[in-house]
Each structure stands twice: as structure tokens, then as C-alpha cells.
Amino acid sequence: MPPVITAEGLYKVFGRRPTRGVEALRTGRTRDELREDGLTAAVIDASFSVDPGEIFVVMGLSGSGKSTLIRMVNGLLPATSGTLRIGDEVLSEMSPAKIRDVRRRRISMVFQHFALLPHRTVGENAAYGLEVSGMNRADREKKATEALEMVGLKGWGGYRPDNLSGGMQQRVGLARALAAGTDVLLMDEAFSALDPLIRRDMQDQLVDLQQRLDKTVLFITHDLNEAMRIGDRIAMMRDGRIVQVGTSDEILNEPANDYVARFIQDVDRSRVLTASGIMEQPPQTLGSAQGPRTAHKLLRETQNPWLVVLGRDRKPVGVLWEDDVAAAVRAGGDDLPFSTRLEMPVVAHDTPLADLFALSAQHLTPLVVVDDDGRFQGVIPRVTLLTAAGTLGNGTGEIPAVAPPDGPEPDGPDPGAARTDDQIAEGPSDAATDTRQHGEETR
């Protein structure tokens, strides 16, 4: 699908004869040099695109030009140079009346200090966008009520905004934007004025609403943790320029320059990195239809003390431990000897790192990572988790990688294994198919 918002070489210069400033910037003069001429370059050569259904976060400190940038997207501030498209409509070429029309149909906005109308009730505030575009009272009240319900303010429509707490007022701001029924949502530091707990709630609610309603969100913030929490992609801004655009993982792992690198030092990575970010592929997995002898062979080949067993639907069934397998082979049974003592901890792929430690400490078995449908994605052995933890914070932590301290030690080759070699001819092929789907080398 084509992008919803496309910005190409956007400039915004404040002052007398601003186009002069754009030309000067293009020929390589700096922002500070321009300031001596009385021109303020707020946004310099900004290019980006926002895809449908994406939460795109623009992150920067105050004075970085992010507020100017978001106001150029809905034409509150006209660009000095460059083009801005909403879908295939070029905003920079439109008359004021046309721009108003685009705002009514396509873009709504949530403001840092809520910007509610104190003389109207919550319901009338939520209906404001619809009222402006001329919808009749009954229809707009119905839509406003729906929007208020969506943000969890059912029954508050008759109150005045100043009867509500800050968090609730911003929900009204959000409801006003949702009721307008536009596909693009601009959020200008929308949660910055709220206290941290409420801010977390609102972030979760935004992500939730975005998934349900499939809105395209352009979110401005100065809080990197917030950006990492909600953003599908993040644009880092500094002194009017966009210095890096990428996912939170990309920005954390490959900062484009020293500025970004310094910035992300303070990020609590254990909240940002997720299970799928640090998981690894096990050397082998076993189909649940296989017997203990196949398991034994694979364990010997991989020199691993454990083996994850997957069902036909690739959902994890359990984990086998080496000595249990050896015992089963000696006993000659056909059932896989799942341990009752060592349970298998399963985590969702988007679990933050911070939530993995407790689970990992309770279980000897590596954490098994599954996707949204519960299918196997990878494992996180304790060593991997500790290594990841070592790179958190300042990135120079030196936590030595240690073997699982009290896991079953790998025994020597079991004498029984040789006897069973010829009986497992058909076995590994199934397991190999499993792992091939992961693009893993089987041998």
C-alpha cells in the first residue's frame, strides 16, 4: 500500500524572507549562521513516509523542530519548501478551504495540553470535529458517545472538562480525534503532561485502539522510552534535522551517530528489547511423533543437554532432558520421557526482557518463545538472557557467560545409543523438516 503521509525535503524557516534561508541551508550554511541573520530554521530537509496502520514516532528534545514538523503535516504551518502529501493529495499546493477539507476528512489531532473547550460538555467536545464539518446533531452525538466509550469514558458525556482529571481530559481529546473518523491521527506530545502511571495506561490504550481501528498515527514525543514503547518506527530529530529513522531495535543496536548513541544510553533496554530480539534457534528440535531413540541420537549429535519437542502444528509440547532420555532408551519404552520435575516455561515473542528474568530463575529449562498463534519461534537459554542483560544499560557490562549452574551435566555417550542407530532411520527426517522451516542447518 502507498504511504499515508509522505514528506519530501520539507523545510520550515521562520523570519523575514524565509526562502532565502532555505537556499542558504541548501548551500551548506548552518542553523547557527542563519540565526545571526534573524532566521530560525525549525525543520531542515525532512523526508519520511508513514505507512497505513503504522505508529510513527518523531522523537527529539525541545527545539528540535518536532512540533513544527507535526504542524506542517496538517497544514497548520505551511512548509517553506518541499512537498507534503496526505495519500495522493499534495497539501502544499492547496487553498485554505481545501486544506480545511483535508483536515476534516483525513487528519485529526491530539494536543499536549488537551485543548478542550471548557464551555462545552465532554460530549460536545468529542463531537467538535463532526460539528465543524456540518454533521447533524443526532448523528454526531451518537458518534461522540461511541468514541467516548472506546476511550473508557462511557457516561461522562454530560460533564464539563474541568470536572475531569488530566488523564480523563486527554481521553476526551483522544475521543474527539477518534469521533472525527479520520484515518490519520496526529499526536503532539499527547501524553507528556500526564503523570507516569497514567501515561503508561494511555500508551497501552493507544496501541490497543490503533490495532482495533487501524489508524495511522504520527506521534511526537521527547521521551525515548515512550517512543520505544509505542513506535513501530522512530524518527530521531536533532536541531531541525531527522538524523535516523528505524525500528526501536535498529536504533538501539545501530545508532546512526554519537548523538543518537548518547541518547539511548538512558533507555531501559530491558523494557524495550523483547524475547524475540534475543532468542536463538536451538541446534535441533524433535517431532512429537518420534521415540526416545531419535531423541537420544539428536542429543548426542548436538551435544546439548536438552531438546525441545514440537507437535505437528509446531506448537511446543515439552522439553526432554538427556538423562531422562537415556533412562527411557535403557528401559526400551516408546514414549518420550517428559520430565515432570523440569517444566517447560513458554513466553510470548513480545514479552519485554525485564519480565523474563523471574521466569528464567524459576526454571532450569530454557525459555521457549512462541508467536501470537502459539507456534515455536526459538529458545532463550539462561546464558543468552544473562548475556543480553550484560549489554543493558551502558552497553559495556561484563557479566561473564556461565553455564546453567545446576542443570543436568551432559553424560558421556550412552552405550545403548549404538544399538539403536539402525532403528531410527525414518526418525530424523521429520525433525529435519521442522528445523528447515527455520532455515537452520540440521547438521
Partner 1 sequence: MNPEDSVIPRLPVGDWVKDGVDWLTDNASGLFDLIKVVFSTVTEGLTDGLTAVPALVMIVLLALVAWAVRSWKLALGTAVMFLVVLSMGQWEHMMETTALVLVATVIAVVIAIPVGILAARSRVASAIVRPILDFMQTMPAFVYLIPTVVFFSIGVVPGIVSTIIFALPPGVRMTELGIRQVDSETVEAGEAFGATPWQILSGIQLPLAVPTIMAGINQVIMLALSMGVIAGMVGAPGLGKEVVAGISTLDLPLGVEAGLSVVFLAVFLDRLTAALGDPGDRTGSLLNVIARARARRAAAGA
Element (H, E) at 297: helix 292-302
Closest to partner 1 by CB, 100 vs 200, is 100
Give the per-residue contact string, 72-111, with partner 1 (x = CB under 8 A; - = no): --x-x-----------------------xxxxx--xxx-x
Q: Which of 61, 90, 115, 402 binds partner 1 (CB under 8 A)?
A: 115
Residue 186: HSE in the Cβ half-sphere, 13 Å Cα cutoff:
22
Strands 376-380 and 367-370, bridge-based pairing: antiparallel
Give the per-residue contact string, 116-135, with partner 1 (x = CB under 8 A; - = no): xxxx--------xx--xx--
* Contact (Cβ atoms closer than 8 angstroms) between residue 10 and residue 69: yes
Q: What strands, in cross-sheet order, belong to the sheet with 241-246?
A: 107-110, 184-188, 216-221, 55-59, 233-238, 241-246
Site for partner 1 in 166-185 (CB under 8 A): 176, 180
Encode 282-301: b = buried (16+ Cβ within 10 Å), e = exposed: bbbbbbbebbbbbbbbbbbe
Q: Is 285 in the site for partner 1 (CB under 8 A)?
A: no
Shortest separation between residue 121's beta carbon and partner 1, angstroms: 13
Shortest separation between residue 129's beta carbon and partner 1, angstroms: 4
d(CA 222, CA 47): 19
Shortest separation between residue 65's beta carbon and partner 1, angstroms: 17
d(CA 65, CA 163): 34
Shortest separation between residue 68's beta carbon and partner 1, angstroms: 13
What sign does the dihedral 293-295-301-306 (CA atoms) show?
A: negative
Strands 55-59 and 40-50, bridge-based pairing: unpaired
d(CA 387, CA 392): 9
CA distances from 249 to 59, 257, 272, 273 (A): 15, 15, 8, 7
Closest to partner 1 by CB, 71 vs 229, is 71
Chain centroid to CA 278: how far? 15
Q: Which of 40, 68, 80, 112 binds partner 1 (CB under 8 A)?
A: 112
Closest to partner 1 by CB, 107 vs 234, is 107
d(CA 168, CA 172): 6
d(CA 291, CA 264): 49
Shortest separation between residue 74's beta carbon and partner 1, angstroms: 6
Shortest separation between residue 144's beta carbon and partner 1, angstroms: 13
Shortest separation between residue 214's beta carbon and partner 1, angstroms: 21
Chain centroid to CA 165: how far? 28
Closest to partner 1 by CB, 216 vs 274, is 216
* Contact (Cβ atoms closer than 8 angstroms) between residue 276 and residue 288: no
CA distances from 133 to 102, 107, 160 (A): 11, 13, 23
Closest to partner 1 by CB, 139 vs 313, is 139
Closest to partner 1 by CB, 31 vs 103, is 103
d(CA 122, CA 170): 11
Shortest separation between residue 56's beta carbon and partner 1, angstroms: 18
Q: How many residues of this chain bind partner 1 (CB under 8 A)?
A: 26
Q: Which of 3, 6, 83, 113 binds partner 1 (CB under 8 A)?
A: 113
Shortest separation between residue 315's beta carbon and partner 1, angstroms: 47
Shortest separation between residue 175's beta carbon and partner 1, angstroms: 13
Closest to partner 1 by CB, 215 vs 382, is 215
Maximum Cα–Cα distance across the chain: 90
Shortest separation between residue 117's beta carbon and partner 1, angstroms: 6
Q: Is 382 in the site for partner 1 (CB under 8 A)?
A: no
Of 217, 220, 216, give the one whose Cα is nearest residue 193.
220
Q: Which stretch binds partner 1 (CB under 8 A): 115-123, 146-154, 246-254, 276-284?
A: 115-123
Closest to partner 1 by CB, 31 vs 104, is 104
Shortest separation between residue 14's beta carbon and partner 1, angstroms: 15
Q: What strands, in cross-sheet order, belong to the sheet with 376-380?
A: 346-348, 367-370, 376-380
Closest to partner 1 by CB, 116 vs 273, is 116
Q: Is 216 in the site for partner 1 (CB under 8 A)?
A: no
Q: Is 338 in the site for partner 1 (CB under 8 A)?
A: no
Closest to partner 1 by CB, 107 vs 236, is 107
Q: Is 140 in the site for partner 1 (CB under 8 A)?
A: no
Interface residues toward partner 1, by CB under 8 A: 71, 74, 76, 100-104, 107-109, 111-113, 115-119, 128-129, 132-133, 176, 180, 186
